[in-house]
Structure 1
Amino acid sequence: MSATMIKEFRLPDLGEGLTESEILSWKVDVGDTVSLNQVIAEVETAKAVVELPSPFAGVIKELHEQPGSVVEVGKPIVSFEVADDAGAPPSASSGAAGTGSGETVAETPKREPNLVGYGAVVEGSGRPTRRARTFAPVVGPAEPKPVATGPAETPPADSGRAERPRSTPPVRKLAKDLGLDLARVPGTGPGGLITREDVQEFSGHAAEPVPQQRRESSSAGAGTGERETRTPIKGVRKHTAAAMVQSAFTAPHATEFLTVDVTPSLDLLAKLKTSREFSGIKLTPLTLAAKAVLIALGRNPALNSRWDEENQEIVTFNYVNLGIAAATPRGLMVPNIKDAHALPFPRLAQELTALADAARAGKTTPGDLSGGTISITNIGVFGIDAGTPILNPGEAAILGLGAVRTMPWEYRGEVALRQVVTLSLSFDHRLVDGEQGSRFLADVGAMLAEPGMVLTMV
């Protein structure tokens, strides 16, 4: 009978330096036999819902966390009973045992688990330190230095370094509200991450726990007799809120509007739907707007750029990863179509449909949500005519597509009923001048008002 051992699987970093994830559901139970890379759990990061594969073949011994728990990266989530030779393939250089294991192998670097269970070799026992993604600071007068209210303490020797302490936006806000300098707060989280508890302990203010029955969302609504319902802010919604606050108070937004007669575009869509080339392909005003944006960017590249505060550079992209804002049950997401500029029109239409279907089904991956260069938000599907959309962080512009309405409109010297839409363009005024934004919006509008104008722009 072969010997067995107990191995722990610790929550891996699921991409881009994320520090925590919520356990949505377990696909296994204690006593189940699982195979290598079998899906054992569904977790939600600040970016997307991800299926977590097993790093070992064996028997589930213990589930350390329950569905709904928010777990920090590096914390044990499940234990396996495995054979001595089960789990991850050994390292080519050291023959190290499985990833994420709670055991220690002498003189062998510890492997950090990732999405498929096997990460790069990491020296030491801690999580690899990764530089947090940062956004450009608010342009304006410097804020007065906060006065610490916690116990007197000598700042660490390296407190003068340029990189700010590692923490999350809610923790930074809490520290600001308490008047604390985060550089003085020791972090006890993975890789030195400063947690909410670290800030509270340093300040001497213990947080009042919210009773569980008030924290949990009630599905019965007002009919239960409760005067209020509290829903925890976590996962995608928590990330979206932090990102929108960063964007709104970092990039100086400017918004312009243009109302256009799109009757010719709708006539074109009707003709394309009967074409053999577009058989089975969903075509909507958003499809045409997306193509118009891609063409207009060739004439107005400033709107496809990023402000690099750290290096004091403007980065202009020579490709377009086109983001489409999508409202989902888990909150707002902006997945993007990679290299959309290189796609022919039928393929672009297919990618738009696939992207929307994946978002609604909760299958959007972290990779789909990262790397966008410009975005479109289709507010028209909610019956809205115009708005002032907030930029997706790191992007220079976002186009709002309003509802198409039948309205009286001047047409060939007379008043006629026409199909009309309002376009809303928000842009980062550090990157885009008013003239550049206006020319881009006018180009998009011209192509939607008369699709034949494309011939003069490409």
Structure 2
Amino acid sequence: MTASTANAQRFREFKMPDVGEGLTEAEILKWYVKPGDTVTDGQVVCEVETAKAAVELPIPYDGVVHELNFGEGVTVDVGTVIISVDTDPGAGPAPAPAKVQTPPEAAKAEEEAEPQGRQAVLVGYGAAPSSTKRRARKPQAGVPAQPEPVSAALQAELNGRTAPAPAAPVTPVANGAGVGAVGRPLAKPPVRKLAKDLGIDLATIVPSGPDGIITREDVHAAAAPAAAPAPAAAAAVPTPVAPAETGVVNAAARERRVPVKGVRKATAQAMVSSAFTAPHVTEFITVDVTRTMKLVQELKQDPDMAGLRVNPLLLVARAFLVAIKRHPEVNASWDEAQQEIVYKDYVNLGIAAATPRGLIVPNIKDAGVKTLPQLAEELGELVATAREGKTSPAAMTGGTVTITNVGVFGVDTGTPILNPGESAILAFGAVKLQPWVHKGKVKARQVTTLALSFDHRLIDGELGSKLLADIAAVLERPKRLITWG
């Protein structure tokens, strides 16, 4: 056995797994161990956040933590080694672990570290075609360096787009900034964004990077003098006056910027995709739910429901499932690739849940075949798990229809957006005492408004109207849970 083979067997590497379906990356939220800690097979070592949920990762080895490759807050690609474990710590001293990457260091390494012998490229774009041009001459003292001409392919990679057709040469600007074949200063997207945030024109910067590329340091250097007013102009600037005297407020000083990532980023992308893919139709109905609210109180006292969370949402969910059973054609999805409608003989009922990380929609598998106590139990577990941020990615896949309970916020109703791949979503509004005609007299009754959004490719107006009317009918007279169920 060679030394390298022995080391490979001793130091076991754990890679970032795909904890969902087709996820490509995850952010390390928290490490529960550090180098030197003893771990056992199945012990949770860290918590990561994917585009779907926060997930705890167990280590599959026994031993001592040798190295943590990334710090908290770093986004790591699936398949990248994040931790190594010494499975035989008594075999002698282990090699010194490498430095753990923190978010700023990881970003800087991505932007600036380039292998020798090839030009800088963006991650995921591949290497630019090798060039036979000579390296730039070393500039003379006091004279800005003039960059070598850059190919259209490299210019396109730096600009984040495909290479354009050859164009006429562009004369470099007088200040010596790196300019490619299309006349745009050379800088990677993160550096370009930094310049935009600082209000710096890249065309005014003298590049110091290889091949005339503008670096972060170049941008910061250009921003530094701009931050301090020139002595001559200082006299012309009036003395600042307190905002209370002028009524003018520095808005930038009172704003917060939070990166869009994780669950919120995935939700935003999904909602945009759904809104511009599925043709939405939303219908509304206002219903007297006084009898349903009385049934909720009775079920809370029922021994068969002891220890379970019984609330109006439970009966709305049951009414939705009964209505779907009467109109199974609504439980379908659109297969764009095959140009087919897929009808489903199961109902995975999603429940929209607001969490600190954003909106998630876990679902109850085969909800249509569960008894009322079973449905109550799973609904309670689903909500509790979501609030703790422990919902698994598997619990958020495969949904067919969804309920969003906007009534808990005192909202009457809304026009909910479909979850991608689902056919319908029901918004349950606030239950309020309102004057209502009951048995020929105006009385105070408990009333709510339901809104049903559906994919008009799958559900036409007649079918959608029948579905919503049946949901309302069950909630108005909940004995239909028995006669229709």
Tell whether the structures are fold-level matches, with TM greater than 0.5.
yes
Q: Could you say which residue in structure 2 is the equivalent of 1:158?
A: none
* TM-score, with length taken from structure 1: 0.70
| 8 A Cα contact 1:396 1:431, kept in partner | yes
SS of the equivalent of 1:250 reads coil
The 3 A distance-change label for structure 1 pair 228 and 306 is same
CA separation in 2, counterparts of 1:313 and 1:414?
51
1:325 to 352, 360, 364: 352
Q: Deviations over 1:354-409 (max 9, x none)?
A: 11000001111111111111000000001100100010110000000000010111
Q: Could you say which residue in structure 2 is the equivalent of 1:300?
A: 327
Q: Could you say which residue in structure 2 is the equivalent of 1:19?
A: 24
The 3 A distance-change label for structure 1 pair 365 and 275 is same
1:29 maps to a residue whose letter is K
Q: Could you say which residue in structure 1 is the equivalent of 2:458?
A: 431
The 3 A distance-change label for structure 1 pair 31 and 401 is same
SS of the equivalent of 1:451 reads coil
CA separation in 1, counterparts of 2:250 and 2:68?
36
2:370 matches 1:370: no
1:252 maps to a residue whose letter is P
CA separation in 2, counterparts of 1:84 and 1:61?
9
SS of the equivalent of 2:256 reads coil
SS of the equivalent of 2:418 reads coil
2:70 to 65, 72, 94: 65
SS of the equivalent of 1:384 reads coil
Q: Could you say which residue in structure 2 is the equivalent of 1:127?
A: none
Please show how residues 31-430 of structure 1 align to structure 2 within 5 Å.
31-83=36-88, 180=161, 206-207=188-189, 208-210=192-194, 226-430=253-457
SS of the equivalent of 1:259 reads strand
The 3 A distance-change label for structure 1 pair 203 and 306 is farther
* TM-score, with length taken from structure 2: 0.66
Identical amino acids, percent of aligned pairs: 53
| 8 A Cα contact 2:39 2:62, kept in partner | yes
- Aligned CA-pair RMSD: 3.0
Instruction: From the CA coordinates, give the structure whose radius of gyration is larger.
Output: 2
| 8 A Cα contact 1:180 1:203, kept in partner | no
Kindly state the Cα deviation for residue 453 of structure 1 after the two structures are TM-superposed: 2.8
Kindly state the Cα deviation for residue 312 of structure 1 after the two structures are TM-superposed: 1.1
| 8 A Cα contact 1:303 1:374, kept in partner | no
SS of the equivalent of 1:349 reads helix
CA separation in 1, counterparts of 2:276 and 2:185?
27
Q: Deviations over 1:257-286 (max 9, x none)?
A: 000000011111112222222222221111
Q: Which runs of 5+ in 1 are unaligned?
A: 87-149, 154-174, 185-201, 215-221
CA separation in 2, counterparts of 1:327 and 1:264?
28
CA separation in 1, counterparts of 2:267 and 2:478?
35
Count of residues in Structure 1 that have an aligned counterpart in Structure 2: 345
| 8 A Cα contact 2:64 2:89, kept in partner | no
CA separation in 2, counterparts of 1:437 and 1:246?
22
2:421 maps to a residue whose letter is G
Q: Which runs of 5+ in 2 are unaligned?
A: 92-149, 166-183, 199-248
Q: Could you say which residue in structure 2 is the equivalent of 1:121?
A: none
1:14 maps to a residue whose letter is V
| 8 A Cα contact 2:63 2:89, kept in partner | no
Kindly state the Cα deviation for residue 351 of structure 1 after the two structures are TM-superposed: 1.1
